[in-house]
Structure 1
């Protein structure tokens, strides 16, 4: 246990201060990209793409997972994830004439060589490239046909927080403009305020459960699966915890066999039917003796990990904001520095 007399205050870290800015960052992003989002929505409605390909790594790829579920459920267009090594290692390219393809590239820095190589191949094949990027001077921003600037501002902590949330918000805004869905449009407009509310929620019960943990599962489903992936990554990065993310459906296909008495599980449940699957899996884990921390938007603020009820598309964004506050505090409680994880740097230039 960390000696309370020498413990670093959670609010003193870069991770805390940057994550706390997420609501303001989303407000800036939405205001700055009104024209670009409107034009892109009109383009996509007039000429819907046959397929969407996402290109990203790390936290940005987890945002792409969220985008996949949102695009497919709201527009019906299939979404696939590009493997950057296909271009950077194997020097292979998609078939030319892919005019009916939309490529969405997501990056904080916009400078990773393999991501740039992949985007270049899709653009050469005829795809319309949309870049969600924080660094507007980056090569990715210059390559894009449509630039959605994330406007998260400087992010010095190695652990990406506000830029990840800005990417989730940008994806939800793209789909709102594309689909013309009024309920989603209204929900996206409330994000800055709701993120402030989510940041104020305390997940102390989850932090206590994980203080001495070594391994755990993080589960979600549908729109919530991407944040389960992100939470697992952040627990590895900032808390030196071996966390694995699973869909609440896939976790029953083998991984459940290692869950025994006392095994920790974090579950993210949206208020829709996908959340029902998460709640069922969480209950099954608890019946096996697992220690389960359930963030349940359906409970609207109840439980040890209170989550806000909203439109199901933005509930995951609100939950990951609350999670970041918990992860920062947990890292410090475990005697670690969330701003400077061992062996990691801010920009990863994968070849």
Structure 2
């Protein structure tokens, strides 16, 4: 890993929504572009479940709606992703399975300290992101409604649905069934569990149409087995098992109404979002279905519901998969930034 791929902001002993404290917490991030003299060109791109700030670089570039020549982009990494404080890089007694529960509230509170206290930024033009990153955009707008001017969550939701929760229980169970899992106290990676995690996930990440029409061939796979083996290797080589489960717990507890501001009143939290919002689900997403976003938009004062149909399902948003999705995403972003 190149030393310049990310920077680290020291948070010290960081209080969590659960009442626990994450000791000597660190938030990894990277910035791109230059902050304008008026400090009005800030775009925040949080990271998705198996993402890092480096992976986020596929969502912007020269000539794109988000362009480092015009915008100051801040990309903070989720707790648990191996760059920010995570089970894999935190010393005892909070290492491995002893890492505390970190919720969306905690991630955004840490990002707020980075952006306001460390970078000296008072207004954010846009928070956008795919999947868990999109969930963070909702959280930003609800937690700091006077700071965020626009959000564009794509393939995401403001609250993890019960069905989404159950899907995540399935991949978690596949991982933890490995005989080497040992409650997270493994001496070597639980390889069988990580492979199973990847195989199960592959069935959810794409739509039924994707498999029916053999679109995996466009990714260079000659068979479904080749695709699933690729997903096995991605999770086996790229991710620590405890890190995956810490982020999974963050995902499962995602709810913009959790915490002292709204005390579980989800509709109140949605109605408190002042930011202009474009909600962009994929109609064939199996775990962030458009119905959830349609409901959310009814309770958000400045929201547009703009679904996109794609057989790529949740992975329509992955850069390079669906050119049409990428083009529509840029159209939506430009529209929000020009208002």
Query: How does the TM-score come out when normalised to structure 2?
Result: 0.29
Higher relative contact order (Cα pairs below 8 Å, separated by 6+ residues): 1
Query: How does the TM-score come out when normalised to structure 1?
Result: 0.28
